[in-house]
Amino acid sequence: MSTRTLPVRNPRSGEIDHEIAVADAADVASTAARLRRNQPAWAALSIGERLEVMRRWSGEFAKIAQQFGELEAVDTGGTHTSFVQGFITLETVNGWIADAESSLESAGVHRTAVSMPTVEVRSQLVAYPLVGVISPWNAPTMLAMLDAIPALCAGSAVLWKPSEVTPRFTRLFFESVAQVPELAAVFDFVLGDGLTGQEVVANADIVCFTGSVATGRKIAVACAERLIPCYLELGGKDPAIVTETADIDRATTAILRGGAYATGMVCFSVERVYVHESIHDEFVAELVRKAQLVHLSHDNAKAGHIGPFTFAAQPQTVLQHIADARSKGAQVLTGGAVEQHGGGLYMRPTVLTGVDHGMQIMVDETFGPCLPVMAYRDIDEAIRLANDTEYGLTASVIAGTADEALEIGRKIDAGSIFIQDTFLMAGKGRTIGTNAFGFSGVGGGRTGPESILRFVRRKGLLIQNGEPADLLDDKFEDR
């Protein structure tokens, strides 16, 4: 048993008020082995039986959903979404209970072989034994459940390592799991830092990770060496295009929320804005006016609009990007400074102009409430600028009509395009699966009804209903 511990900072007070015991290699291996031993019995259940177990867990989790949200909000320092995270988790669980059976059945095959009419072809779905889920410090439960819940429904066991920055909620979460022994046998967690994460990768049969490109590269290499699949979501530098026909009030409202919600600490936050030169000045003036109305939540976590930075080191990245932009001629029209309130680190929505792609703030992921606005001459230039990136997670287009925006959106290289709004990722849910472009992701979609198929391998069962071919009759015929 490891004796190493890690301190955990409260993002609102700035104080170290929690500590976790770090799982070492032996701890992770032991937990993984136990889950792996129990997985065959879980997979042997019918899908209906597994879903009944999940339904019982949903009932247990419902009892703590409110308390769970309060606890995750302590972890993240968040406003709004964190407090209702328990209910978002319930929706994820109940949604997969409703959809899992039909989603798995859609992958089934039972037909006659195209090239051999006497051969009947059937399929069998075999779950990967152990799924490793490594989740980030922003929206830690939501992003883990995108993978863990469908994996469990598919018949896999799941080993989850949450971020060491936001670990408090896991104990309460797994108290609800413990109330359902069949689920507790195949669903568990380990706490720790990157070293613990490495051990999860070393013990899993498939890995799901959300986080930075740098860490994602390391995981991809480790999985490649073991010849196991990995699904990586690695952030974005998500553009928004505003055309000259757009309603400025609508556009500024959507883009302010898209860039500043959750202090910009969302992988699909708007991080760069391209506005037609004919409306640029008016757009910027209105965006600044609205940005100045945003209140920090330091007095009341449930009353303000945006909260503190969750991770104490993140403001330094944001300040570096702002300083780089300023040094190259950009103007900061509002925000731009880190404010400390009660030990928490905050930043008001930050609008910048005079920016270009020679600045970090236009090309590197900022992960803060920054909205750099750049003018463009024509729509071809706007599309070129939007696609001038290593990333490709989401993009937004706001125009005079949805049809106009759609035509532009079809030309942008990103996995999801938000039309006439921003921040519409929740609309994807189990409705549609998408693929990221560039460095934003590797592997199949994490959403949509087919996302559960990531966790199963399809086996072909081929039945000869006619006579087998006879080698002795196999002779060449001149055609």
Closest CA to 166 of 76, 80, 78: 76
Whether the CB-CB separation of 207 and 87 falls below 8 Å is answered with: no
Looking at residue 92, its amino acid is T
Q: Coil, helix or strand for 63? A: helix
**Catalytic residue of the set 233, 271, 365, 404:** 233
Neighbouring C-beta atoms of residue 339, cutoff 10 Å: 14
Query: Is 233 designated active site?
Result: yes
Whether the CB-CB separation of 424 and 405 falls below 8 Å is answered with: no
What is the spatial distance between Cα 295 and Cα 349, in angstroms, rounded to a whole number? 10
Closest CA to 10 of 21, 2, 23, 19: 19
List C-alpha distances in Å: 405 to 249, 379, 391, 400, 434.
16, 11, 21, 8, 19
The per-residue DSSP string of 374-390 comes to: EEESSHHHHHHHHH-SS
Closest CA to 355 of 377, 340, 371, 334: 371
Give the ranges where 336-401 is alpha helix by DSSP (H): 360-363, 379-387
Whether the CB-CB separation of 123 and 105 falls below 8 Å is answered with: no
Q: Which helix or strand (DSSP H or E) is residue 93 part of?
A: helix 85-105
Sorted by sequence, the CB contacts under 8 Å of residue 249 that are 6+ apart come out as 286
- How much is the CA Rg of the chain, to the nearest whole Å? 25
- Residues involved in catalysis: 233
